[in-house]
Amino acid sequence: MTLPSLSLSLQFGALADAALHRAALPRHTVARCIRHALETDAEITVRIVDAEEGQALNRDYRGKDYATNVLTFDYATDPLVMADLVLCAPVVAREAAELKKPLAEHYAHLLVHGTLHAQGWDHETSEADAEAMEARETAILAGLGQPNPYAA
């Protein structure tokens, strides 16, 4: 299987525990997760941010005044996907701990999730769309050797 090409920029904001997040997100792993979720070639920037930056972006662009795990800013889908994925390190770390999952595993799920959003997938439009997106994420993650993120 030939995967789509990817031009990737991986950025880390000012994080108190940057080493932990850098270790969970080696560039080759980030690229692998995204490429497996792509349906076409892409130019994607992944930025790992602190809670303050994550909250400001969520508030300014979505009108929700809290830091969320992943934000997707999609700019184009044809002829190639162009997007920014912003992952909030403290939120991702907290969720991984609550779910009793390795940090790298949770990041893999959110990278796939955000990449699907960049291609027009949406889980907030209907229950059927949510189920379809979850099924697609689960299949992609299985192909990456990752467990089902929605399994109890």
Residue 64 belongs to domain with CATH number: 3.40.390.30
In a domain? residue 122: yes
Confirm whether residue 106 is marked as ligand binding: no
**Contact present, 36 and 61 (Cβ < 8 Å):** no
| Tally of structural domains, the chain | 1
In a domain? residue 152: no
In a domain? residue 89: yes
**Contact present, 115 and 85 (Cβ < 8 Å):** yes
Sole residue written with tokens 């809670």:
51
What pLDDT is recorded for position 27? 98
CA pair distance 59, 29, nearest whole angstrom: 29
Three-class SS of residue 46? strand
CA pair distance 19, 28, nearest whole angstrom: 16
Query: Per residue in 93-149, pLDDT tens?
Result: 999 999 999 999 999 999 999 999 999 999 989 999 999 999 999 999 999 999 999
Q: What is the pTM for the complete model shown?
A: 0.97
Helices (H), the chain: 18-24, 27-37, 51-62, 89-99, 103-118, 127-143
Confirm whether residue 21 is marked as ligand binding: no
In a domain? residue 150: no
Confirm whether residue 123 is marked as ligand binding: yes
Strand order in the sheet with 70-76: 6-12, 42-49, 81-88, 70-76
Phi, psi of 12 (to 5 degrees): -120, 125
What pLDDT is recorded for position 7? 98
